[in-house]
């Protein structure tokens, strides 16, 4: 049995949500608590071992013990980021432990010294073996089976990696994929057997036959509420349940169906048995044919070491011959054994790749940072699976290789011979020439968050930007000298929630710049690295800073960004300057990488993700049916009250005409704005905290009682549509008003949290009793404030227009909204003038605005309470603060394991780009560590336009352009050039939105412009000087074939100015 804690044992363990915030959206609280009860032993602290230790310590296991009697060698420095040249000869575990212990104050790190097998291994829930002998692996595997500990054996040997998992005879997986259980809104249930349930056409139910679902909130056929049943799927919107509803009450409206995720039990084979009977092997889906050969190759490696008492020498052909012979012995033995047992298995039919055996021997020395990071992500996640029961484990082997990154033909033994350098592992794989070329690279890293930290670590260990050799290049007409460097930019400062996955940062760095702190941290890993830190946003407005000279000095750009807009802008820069772009990103346990090579692959923006889902306005305002709807509504209310209103008030308080100018630009919203300003600065302006509490109570009445009463008055429950169907059906859930109760915790939470933020807006002190937020004291004090308040009685009005469709909602007149008050039109200008005259004279102090911060608990309490009250109005399942923060804050789930993996994968692509590998050898990756799934595919080529130029086909892509290097070329000379080179006549030439030339201009203007050089022409037409540092002008042209007069689509024109 695997030693995982029963669910009830971990329920009450506290979790630091501030630290693990982003990770909790991946793992969940239950899994996090299980991890916090798990003791882990890591045996082997080479580059892979330290990556695994880092990832699981950041994740928050109970404790980590380290064992490694091996001394530090030069090979270790290529991937083990906590070792230096001064540590050579010392114990890898002892040197690493103090630095690993800094990663997480909740995870104690200890060292197990001496003979491993003399220690009590039963105290560990998970044991990880790395860089160990086969004999030790077999012994520890047997002990783990005996003690019920989960076992993971992992290795990186040069260009190859493997993982083996054994979590016992019966291991429970509580959530196989981590995906949110599908949930849909019901629109119809039939009577009969089996009953057929139909869901909203807007969303597929995403169920499979055999899934178990729960039914709830059904009106009419209430007998089904609370039932859990298996479904049989009919189509994407209908399924059957095995219940006879003939005698049930007729279905009226509403209801939800939600899939129930059930735990599954899986079994594992012991290590000794799996060696010869590996079963199905997990690997890159595009390289499955290599897995059997790699399984044999790893076995051959350990046999080689046992016989020769050493590892194969990098590049040595004689060792390769011995190694291949051993591999053949293994294959022969296994096949004979299977024939003897008269069983036909997969081994019998496998076709082994002879070249893999040879390349394995030649390239199995050393361990480099990118592979260590990749495999460290895989192994780290398997440790967390064993500790938590979250996600499906590897069953049972995983193999990985980077053969496509190696030289096409094996390098000579001399070229790959180590030289007692920290880069020896790279030399043994890629040779001296490529290894040392890394040091001269000039890299631009955009983003210094989680992926950025991992990339910088890899760069330091690879030697990227570490060279002292200077090179000359021309800049602004001068010859300048430059050397390898890494430029990193990030506007953000470090927050507590960053510390669980951005491993270069510590608590002492909170509020420091990410770019600067990360750059300084990696200098401790490799003092030779040259980093330059910026806090400037890479955007159109910073093009004078990150200018032509800057981009033209770069060799490659890496992105470590968290939004599509920024990625697309970087892509455009790389497209223009013809710079390789290496992109990576994560979403929880999922990760991706993309390699972009000028002229070879499509650029990043060539394919777009679907736009982010948005909710219809009328759904948010009047007809929510999901918690996402109520949270979005709460966010918008928060921004109106605590951001927009204070900003509008401050514009008025500044005096002058700025406020009236602002009003004039707001069209039909100006009356709304003035009404809010009048209320905020007039009679509604609070003087004491009591006033804030009273104001919050009145907002409760307005939002959750009066508006709902008005809605139901306008649309009674029995209302029918023009077609005779119920108005309140389908996606429209009928609400009910909430009557305030001081004994309801949610009601008082809204009052207190809103009052506290309103007090901050007006700089009013908050009494200590409310700051402490105890269960009773704050409520009792608030009740005293409210005891004398008489809440006005609300009476619904006739004639109030409430939009019921998206089109009506967009065109809604703000003065005709439901919520109290009669219908009727308002003279907006007259009303605005009246309010302006009633406002107090502008004066200080200004009001405080509260920019929404999802990590601020005081703000999230307001949003959560507001959202849950509206959810309660509409009988929608409420969400706690943690879930609300994730949805309202649009938090991207993140975990260190996936981050490490993608950083390794994308750095391996850098090595291919530098070798100018053909497109078929490049790889875009997608992984899902939860499943687990690993897949890679070659990048798509650029999309080409084909036109006819001078009678011949002319192909061009987004990477192409027409370059003009003569800065003095005139318009007339350009027209001649286009005719001679491309056989086209110029029809139109433009710069941005300005037309410089068109054949329909009047002849006089054309004649004037023909003799002008293009730069002067651009300045004249745009009436704006070209900045002196700008090296290029971009021109768009429309041209026609000179003979046929057919339009010919050509790429843009780039004019070089200097």
- φ, ψ of residue 1009 to 5 degrees: the values are -90, -20
For the four alpha carbons of 303, 309, 314 and 318, in that order, the dihedral sign comes to: negative
Given strand 39-43, what is the order of strands in its sheet?
109-111, 63-67, 39-43, 126-130, 150-157, 160-166, 397-401, 281-282
DSSP 96-149: HHHHHHTS-TTS-EEE--S-GGGS-GGG-SEEEEES--HHHHHHHHHHHHHHT-
The terminus-to-terminus CA distance of the chain in angstroms comes to 73
The helix-helix angle for 291-308 and 317-340 (nearest 10°) equals 110
- Residue 421 and residue 504: Cα distance in Å, rounded? 24
Residue 386 makes CB contacts below 8 A (sequence gap 6+) with: 2, 4, 38, 125, 126, 150, 152, 165, 167, 171, 393
User: Could you confirm whether 832 is annotated as catalytic?
Assistant: no
- Residue 343 and residue 341: Cα distance in Å, rounded? 5
Tell how many helices (H) and how many strands (E) occur in the chain. 34, 35
Give 320's strand partners. none
Q: Are 552 and 574 in contact (CB under 8 A)?
A: no
E strand or H helix that includes residue 356? helix 354-362
- Residue 269 and residue 278: Cα distance in Å, rounded? 9
Peptide bond preceding 396 in cis form (omega within 30 of 0): yes
Closest CA to 162 of 278, 321, 43, 78: 278
Catalytic residue, candidates 618, 649, 866, 907: 618
E strand or H helix that includes residue 443? strand 442-446
Peptide bond preceding 947 in cis form (omega within 30 of 0): no
- Residue 1018 and residue 1014: Cα distance in Å, rounded? 6
Peptide bond preceding 7 in cis form (omega within 30 of 0): no
Q: Are 909 and 593 in contact (CB under 8 A)?
A: yes
Burial 415-442 (b: 16+ CB within 10 A, else e): bbbbeebbbbbbbbbbbbebbbbbbbbb
Encoded tokens for 858: 């005081």
Q: Are 974 and 1014 in contact (CB under 8 A)?
A: yes
- Residue 393 and residue 930: Cα distance in Å, rounded? 8
Active site residues: 618
């Amino acid at each position: 049995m695997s030693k995982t804690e029963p669910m009830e044992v971990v329920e009450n363990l506290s979790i630091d949500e501030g630290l693990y915030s982003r990770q909790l959206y991946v793992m969940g609280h239950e899994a996090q608590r299980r991890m916090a009860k798990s003791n882990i032993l890591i045996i082997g602290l080479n580059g892979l071992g330290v990556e695994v230790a880092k990832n699981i310590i950041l994740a928050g296991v109970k404790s980590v013990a380290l064992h490694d009697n091996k001394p530090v060698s030069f090979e270790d420095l290529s991937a083990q980021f906590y070792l230096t040249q001064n540590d050579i000869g010392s114990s890898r575990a002892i040197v690493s432990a103090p630095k690993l212990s800094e990663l997480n104050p909740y995870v104690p790190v200890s060292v197990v010294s001496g003979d491993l097998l003399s220690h009590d291994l039963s105290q560990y829930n998970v044991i990880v073996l790395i860089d160990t002998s086969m004999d030790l692996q077999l012994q520890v595997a047997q002990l783990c089976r005996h003690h019920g500990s989960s076992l993971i054996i992992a290795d990186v040997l040069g260009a190859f990696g493997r993982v083996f998992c054994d979590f016992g005879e019966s291991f429970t997986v509580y959530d196989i994929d981590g995906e949110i259980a599908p949930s849909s809104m019901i629109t119809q249930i039939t009577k009969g057997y089996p009953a057929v349930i139909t869901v909203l056409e807007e969303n597929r139910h995403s169920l499979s036959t055999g899934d178990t679902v729960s039914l709830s909130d059904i009106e009419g056929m209430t007998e089904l509420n609370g039932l859990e049943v298996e479904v049989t799927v009919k189509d994407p919107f209908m399924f059957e349940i095995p219940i006879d509803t003939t005698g049930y009450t007729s279905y009226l409206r509403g209801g939800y169906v939600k899939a129930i995720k059930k735990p599954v039990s899986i079994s594992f084979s012991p290590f000794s048995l799996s060696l010869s009977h590996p079963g199905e092997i997990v690997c890159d889906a595009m390289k499955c044919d290599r897995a059997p050969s790699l399984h044999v190759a790893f076995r051959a490696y350990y046999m080689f070491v046992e016989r020769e008492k050493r590892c194969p020498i990098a590049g040595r052909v004689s060792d390769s011959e011995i190694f291949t012979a051993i591999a053949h012995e293994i294959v022969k033995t296994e096949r004979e054994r299977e024939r003897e047992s008269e069983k036909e298995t997969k081994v019998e039919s496998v076709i082994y790749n002879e070249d893999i055996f040879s390349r394995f021997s030649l390239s199995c020395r050393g361990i480099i940072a990118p592979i260590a990071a990749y495999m460290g992500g895989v192994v780290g996640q398997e440790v967390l699976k064993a500790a938590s029961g979250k996600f499906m484990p590897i069953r049972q082997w995983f193999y990985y290789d980077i053969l496509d990154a190696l030289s096409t033909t094996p390098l000579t033994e001399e070229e790959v011979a180590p030289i007692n350098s920290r880069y020896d592992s790279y030399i043994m794989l890629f040779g001296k020439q490529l290894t040392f070329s890394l040091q001269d690279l000039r890299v631009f890293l955009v983003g210094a968050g989680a992926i950025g930290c991992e990339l910088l670590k890899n760069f330091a260990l690879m030697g990227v930007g570490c060279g002292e050799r200077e090179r000359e290049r021309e800049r602004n007409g001068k010859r300048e000298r430059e050397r390898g460097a890494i430029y990193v930019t990030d506007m953000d400062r470090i927050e507590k929630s960053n510390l669980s996955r951005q491993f270069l940062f510590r608590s002492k760095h909170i509020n420091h710049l990410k770019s600067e702190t990360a750059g300084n941290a990696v200098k401790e890993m490799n003092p030779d690295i040259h980093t330059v830190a910026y806090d400037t946003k890479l955007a159109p407005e910073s093009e004078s800073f990150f200018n032509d000279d800057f981009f033209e000095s770069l060799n490659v750009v890496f992105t470590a960004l968290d939004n599509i807009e920024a990625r697309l802008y970087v892509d455009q820069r790389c497209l223009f300057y013809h710079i390789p772009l290496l992109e990576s990103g994560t979403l929880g346990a999922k990760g991706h990488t993309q390699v972009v090579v000028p002229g070879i692959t499509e650029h990043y923006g060539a394919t777009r993700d679907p736009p982010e889902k948005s909710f219809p306005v009328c759904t948010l305002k009047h007809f929510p049916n999901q918690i996402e709807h109520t949270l979005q509504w709460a966010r918008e209310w928060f921004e109106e009250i605590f951001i927009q209103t204070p900003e509008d008030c401050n514009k008025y308080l500044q005096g002058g005409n700025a406020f009236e100018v602002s009003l004039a630009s707001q069209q039909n919203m100006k009356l709304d704005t003035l009404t809010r300003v009048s209320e905020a600065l007039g009679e509604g302006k609070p003087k004491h905290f009591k006033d804030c509490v009273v104001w919050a109570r009145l907002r409760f009445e307005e939002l959750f009682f009066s508006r709902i009463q008005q809605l139901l008055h306008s649309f009674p429950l029995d209302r029918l549509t023009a077609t005779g169907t119920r108005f309140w059906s389908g996606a429209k859930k009928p609400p009910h008003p909430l009557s305030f109760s001081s004994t309801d915790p949610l009601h008082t939470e809204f009052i207190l949290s809103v009052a506290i933020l309103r007090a901050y807006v007006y700089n009013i002190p908050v009494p200590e009793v409310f700051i402490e937020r105890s269960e009773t004291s704050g409520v009792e004090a608030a009740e005293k404030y409210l005891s004398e308040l008489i809440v006005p009685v609300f009476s619904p009005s006739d004639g109030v227009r409430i939009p019921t469709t998206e089109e009506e909602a967009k065109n809604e007149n703000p003065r005709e909204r439901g919520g109290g008050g009669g219908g009727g039109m308002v003279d907006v200008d007259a009303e605005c003038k009246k309010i302006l005259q009633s406002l107090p004279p502008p004066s200080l102090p200004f009001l405080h605005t509260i920019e929404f911060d999802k990590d601020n608990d005081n703000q999230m309490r307001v949003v959560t309470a507001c959202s849950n009250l509206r959810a309660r109005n509409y009988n929608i399942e409420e969400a706690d603060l943690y879930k609300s923060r994730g949805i309202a804050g649009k938090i991207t789930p993140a975990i260190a394991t996936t981050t490490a993996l993608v950083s390794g994968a994308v750095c391996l692509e850098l090595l291919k780009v530098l070798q100018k590998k053909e497109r078929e050898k490049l790889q875009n990756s997608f992984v899902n560590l939860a499943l687990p799934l690993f897949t890679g595919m070659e990048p798509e080529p650029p999309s080409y336009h084909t036109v006819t130029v001078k009678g011949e086909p002319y192909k061009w892509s987004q990477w192409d352009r027409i370059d003009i290097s003569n800065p003095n070329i005139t318009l007339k000379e350009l027209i001649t050039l286009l005719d001679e080179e491309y056989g086209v006549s110029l029809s139109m030439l433009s710069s941005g939105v300005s037309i410089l030339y068109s054949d329909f201009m009047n002849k006089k203007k054309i004649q004037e412009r023909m003799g002008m050089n293009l730069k002067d022409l651009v300045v004249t037409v745009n009436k704006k000087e070209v900045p002196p540092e700008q090296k290029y002008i971009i021109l768009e042209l429309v041209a026609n074939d000179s003979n046929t007069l057919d339009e010919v689509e050509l790429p843009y024109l780039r004019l070089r100015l200097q």
